[in-house]
Amino acid sequence: MANTLFVSDLHLSEETAHIEQGFYRFLDNEGEIGRLFLLGDIFEAWIGDDDDSDLARRFAHALTARAQRGTRIFFTPGNRDFLLGADYLSQFGGTRLEDEVCVEVAGSQALLMHGDTLCTDDTDYLKFRALVHSPQWQAEMLAKPLQERRALAQQLRAMSMNAASNKAEDIMDVNDLAVEDALERHCVTRLIHGHTHRPQRHRLADAERIVLGDWTSTGWCLRDDGATLALEQFPL
Protein backbone atom coordinates (compact mmCIF):
# COMPACT_ATOMS: atom_id res chain seq x y z
CA MET A 1 0.00 0.00 0.00
CA ALA A 2 1.25 3.48 -0.85
CA ASN A 3 2.44 5.61 2.04
CA THR A 4 0.80 8.84 3.11
CA LEU A 5 3.36 11.37 4.38
CA PHE A 6 2.92 14.57 6.38
CA VAL A 7 5.63 17.24 6.65
CA SER A 8 5.73 20.86 7.74
CA ASP A 9 8.04 23.68 8.77
CA LEU A 10 10.90 23.36 6.31
CA HIS A 11 11.15 27.19 6.30
CA LEU A 12 12.92 27.13 2.94
CA SER A 13 14.85 30.17 1.79
CA GLU A 14 17.99 30.82 -0.22
CA GLU A 15 19.88 30.44 3.08
CA THR A 16 18.69 26.87 3.74
CA ALA A 17 20.26 24.93 0.88
CA HIS A 18 21.00 21.89 3.09
CA ILE A 19 17.34 21.60 4.10
CA GLU A 20 16.13 22.15 0.55
CA GLN A 21 18.45 19.51 -0.90
CA GLY A 22 17.66 17.16 1.99
CA PHE A 23 13.97 17.46 1.23
CA TYR A 24 14.53 16.70 -2.44
CA ARG A 25 16.61 13.63 -1.53
CA PHE A 26 13.85 12.56 0.83
CA LEU A 27 11.32 12.76 -2.01
CA ASP A 28 13.63 10.98 -4.46
CA ASN A 29 14.47 8.13 -2.09
CA GLU A 30 10.92 7.38 -0.98
CA GLY A 31 9.12 4.56 -2.73
CA GLU A 32 5.45 4.82 -3.51
CA ILE A 33 3.83 7.88 -1.92
CA GLY A 34 0.11 8.01 -2.48
CA ARG A 35 -0.46 11.35 -0.73
CA LEU A 36 1.95 14.03 0.42
CA PHE A 37 0.56 16.63 2.82
CA LEU A 38 2.58 19.83 3.27
CA LEU A 39 1.18 21.39 6.44
CA GLY A 40 2.49 24.91 6.16
CA ASP A 41 5.63 26.99 6.59
CA ILE A 42 7.25 25.06 3.78
CA PHE A 43 8.76 28.41 2.82
CA GLU A 44 10.17 30.98 5.22
CA ALA A 45 8.23 33.57 3.27
CA TRP A 46 6.02 33.58 0.18
CA ILE A 47 5.49 36.82 -1.69
CA GLY A 48 3.00 35.60 -4.29
CA ASP A 49 2.56 32.95 -6.96
CA ASP A 50 4.33 35.19 -9.49
CA ASP A 51 7.56 34.75 -7.53
CA ASP A 52 10.30 34.22 -10.12
CA SER A 53 13.01 33.17 -7.66
CA ASP A 54 15.29 30.22 -8.30
CA LEU A 55 13.98 28.60 -5.12
CA ALA A 56 10.38 28.71 -6.35
CA ARG A 57 11.43 27.15 -9.66
CA ARG A 58 13.55 24.43 -8.04
CA PHE A 59 10.79 23.47 -5.64
CA ALA A 60 8.17 23.26 -8.39
CA HIS A 61 10.53 21.11 -10.48
CA ALA A 62 11.12 18.68 -7.59
CA LEU A 63 7.42 18.41 -6.76
CA THR A 64 6.57 17.91 -10.43
CA ALA A 65 8.95 14.95 -10.53
CA ARG A 66 7.25 13.47 -7.47
CA ALA A 67 3.78 14.06 -8.92
CA GLN A 68 4.81 12.29 -12.11
CA ARG A 69 5.46 9.21 -9.96
CA GLY A 70 1.80 9.20 -8.95
CA THR A 71 1.88 11.26 -5.74
CA ARG A 72 -1.07 13.51 -4.95
CA ILE A 73 0.17 16.68 -3.24
CA PHE A 74 -1.81 18.79 -0.78
CA PHE A 75 -0.84 22.10 0.82
CA THR A 76 -2.14 23.73 3.99
CA PRO A 77 -1.07 27.37 4.35
CA GLY A 78 1.17 28.29 7.26
CA ASN A 79 1.85 31.59 8.93
CA ARG A 80 4.87 32.14 6.65
CA ASP A 81 3.48 31.01 3.29
CA PHE A 82 -0.21 31.87 3.53
CA LEU A 83 -0.06 33.71 0.18
CA LEU A 84 0.85 30.52 -1.69
CA GLY A 85 -2.08 29.75 -3.94
CA ALA A 86 -3.58 27.67 -6.71
CA ASP A 87 -1.53 29.23 -9.52
CA TYR A 88 1.77 28.02 -8.10
CA LEU A 89 0.37 24.67 -6.97
CA SER A 90 -0.99 24.04 -10.46
CA GLN A 91 2.58 23.68 -11.72
CA PHE A 92 2.74 20.26 -10.05
CA GLY A 93 -0.94 19.43 -9.67
CA GLY A 94 -1.09 20.41 -6.01
CA THR A 95 -4.29 21.13 -4.11
CA ARG A 96 -4.61 23.96 -1.59
CA LEU A 97 -6.53 22.92 1.51
CA GLU A 98 -8.57 25.01 3.92
CA ASP A 99 -7.04 26.01 7.26
CA GLU A 100 -8.84 23.06 8.87
CA VAL A 101 -9.64 19.90 6.93
CA CYS A 102 -10.40 16.28 7.81
CA VAL A 103 -8.92 13.37 5.85
CA GLU A 104 -8.63 9.65 6.40
CA VAL A 105 -5.47 8.71 8.28
CA ALA A 106 -4.74 5.19 9.54
CA GLY A 107 -8.30 4.10 9.00
CA SER A 108 -10.14 7.01 10.62
CA GLN A 109 -10.76 10.71 10.08
CA ALA A 110 -8.08 13.10 11.33
CA LEU A 111 -8.04 16.89 11.49
CA LEU A 112 -5.15 18.59 9.69
CA MET A 113 -4.04 22.13 10.52
CA HIS A 114 -0.90 24.21 10.36
CA GLY A 115 -1.35 24.87 14.08
CA ASP A 116 -0.95 28.61 14.51
CA THR A 117 -4.65 29.14 15.24
CA LEU A 118 -4.35 26.79 18.20
CA CYS A 119 -1.96 29.21 19.93
CA THR A 120 -4.79 31.32 21.29
CA ASP A 121 -2.75 32.72 24.20
CA ASP A 122 -0.64 34.64 21.68
CA THR A 123 -3.21 37.39 21.19
CA ASP A 124 -0.80 39.78 19.47
CA TYR A 125 -0.07 37.20 16.79
CA LEU A 126 -3.75 36.41 16.26
CA LYS A 127 -4.46 40.11 15.68
CA PHE A 128 -1.63 40.24 13.14
CA ARG A 129 -2.92 37.07 11.50
CA ALA A 130 -6.40 38.53 11.11
CA LEU A 131 -4.86 41.56 9.39
CA VAL A 132 -2.71 39.71 6.86
CA HIS A 133 -5.47 37.22 6.06
CA SER A 134 -7.93 39.98 5.16
CA PRO A 135 -8.71 40.16 1.42
CA GLN A 136 -7.90 43.88 1.34
CA TRP A 137 -4.42 43.46 2.86
CA GLN A 138 -3.61 40.55 0.55
CA ALA A 139 -4.85 42.37 -2.56
CA GLU A 140 -2.75 45.42 -1.69
CA MET A 141 0.29 43.27 -0.96
CA LEU A 142 0.05 41.27 -4.20
CA ALA A 143 -0.40 44.45 -6.23
CA LYS A 144 3.06 45.70 -5.21
CA PRO A 145 6.13 45.03 -7.41
CA LEU A 146 8.06 41.84 -6.60
CA GLN A 147 11.10 43.68 -5.26
CA GLU A 148 8.95 45.71 -2.87
CA ARG A 149 7.22 42.54 -1.69
CA ARG A 150 10.59 40.88 -1.05
CA ALA A 151 11.69 43.83 1.06
CA LEU A 152 8.42 43.79 3.02
CA ALA A 153 8.75 40.04 3.60
CA GLN A 154 12.21 40.56 5.09
CA GLN A 155 10.83 43.27 7.38
CA LEU A 156 7.99 41.01 8.54
CA ARG A 157 10.42 38.15 9.21
CA ALA A 158 12.62 40.43 11.33
CA MET A 159 9.60 41.72 13.24
CA SER A 160 8.40 38.15 13.84
CA MET A 161 11.79 37.01 15.18
CA ASN A 162 12.01 40.01 17.47
CA ALA A 163 8.49 39.47 18.78
CA ALA A 164 9.10 35.77 19.40
CA SER A 165 12.26 36.51 21.38
CA ASN A 166 10.22 38.59 23.83
CA LYS A 167 7.43 36.07 24.39
CA ALA A 168 7.18 33.35 26.99
CA GLU A 169 7.56 29.83 25.58
CA ASP A 170 4.14 28.68 26.75
CA ILE A 171 2.40 31.55 24.94
CA MET A 172 3.77 30.23 21.64
CA ASP A 173 2.48 26.70 22.25
CA VAL A 174 -1.05 25.46 21.69
CA ASN A 175 -3.85 26.14 24.13
CA ASP A 176 -5.39 22.92 25.48
CA LEU A 177 -8.93 24.27 25.28
CA ALA A 178 -8.38 25.30 21.66
CA VAL A 179 -7.25 21.75 20.88
CA GLU A 180 -10.32 20.28 22.58
CA ASP A 181 -12.59 22.68 20.72
CA ALA A 182 -11.08 21.82 17.33
CA LEU A 183 -11.45 18.09 17.93
CA GLU A 184 -15.04 18.49 19.09
CA ARG A 185 -16.06 20.78 16.22
CA HIS A 186 -14.85 18.25 13.68
CA CYS A 187 -15.96 15.15 15.63
CA VAL A 188 -12.55 13.47 15.37
CA THR A 189 -10.11 11.92 17.84
CA ARG A 190 -6.86 12.70 16.03
CA LEU A 191 -5.25 16.07 15.25
CA ILE A 192 -2.09 16.52 13.15
CA HIS A 193 -0.32 19.89 12.97
CA GLY A 194 3.02 21.65 12.81
CA HIS A 195 3.97 25.26 13.64
CA THR A 196 5.22 24.91 17.22
CA HIS A 197 8.45 23.05 16.37
CA ARG A 198 7.79 20.67 19.28
CA PRO A 199 7.48 17.22 17.65
CA GLN A 200 5.62 14.79 19.86
CA ARG A 201 2.70 12.39 19.96
CA HIS A 202 0.44 13.57 22.77
CA ARG A 203 -2.07 11.18 24.26
CA LEU A 204 -5.17 13.01 25.37
CA ALA A 205 -8.10 11.65 27.39
CA ASP A 206 -9.82 10.11 24.37
CA ALA A 207 -7.81 11.51 21.46
CA GLU A 208 -4.31 12.05 20.08
CA ARG A 209 -2.47 15.20 19.00
CA ILE A 210 0.53 14.67 16.71
CA VAL A 211 2.97 17.56 16.29
CA LEU A 212 5.30 17.52 13.29
CA GLY A 213 8.90 18.67 13.63
CA ASP A 214 10.75 21.52 11.96
CA TRP A 215 13.56 20.68 9.56
CA THR A 216 17.05 21.77 10.66
CA SER A 217 19.98 19.33 10.61
CA THR A 218 17.35 16.58 10.64
CA GLY A 219 14.06 16.11 8.85
CA TRP A 220 10.71 14.95 10.20
CA CYS A 221 7.69 13.25 8.75
CA LEU A 222 4.61 11.42 9.91
CA ARG A 223 4.16 8.20 7.94
CA ASP A 224 0.93 6.28 7.45
CA ASP A 225 1.86 3.02 5.74
CA GLY A 226 -1.59 1.51 6.01
CA ALA A 227 -0.70 -0.55 9.07
CA THR A 228 1.09 1.82 11.41
CA LEU A 229 1.38 5.55 12.03
CA ALA A 230 4.93 6.65 12.85
CA LEU A 231 6.53 10.02 13.60
CA GLU A 232 10.00 9.76 12.08
CA GLN A 233 13.18 11.82 12.43
CA PHE A 234 16.13 11.35 10.07
CA PRO A 235 19.44 13.07 9.20
CA LEU A 236 19.58 15.31 6.14
pLDDT number for residue 193: 98
Q: Number of helices and strands (H, E) in the chain?
A: 7, 11
Q: Say what the pLDDT of residue 169 is.
A: 74
**Phi, psi (deg, nearest 5) at residue 192:** -125, 125
3-state class of 9 per DSSP?
Answer: coil
- CA-to-CA distance for 147 and 150, rounded, in angstroms? 5
Q: Domains in the chain, start-ordered, CATH in brackets? A: 3-235 (3.60.21.10)
Q: 10-residue block means of pLDDT along the chain (236 residues)?
A: 94 97 97 97 97 98 98 97 98 98 96 98 95 97 96 88 74 94 98 97 96 98 94 98
> Would you state the pLDDT for residue 171?
78
Q: Residue 156: its pLDDT value, please?
A: 85
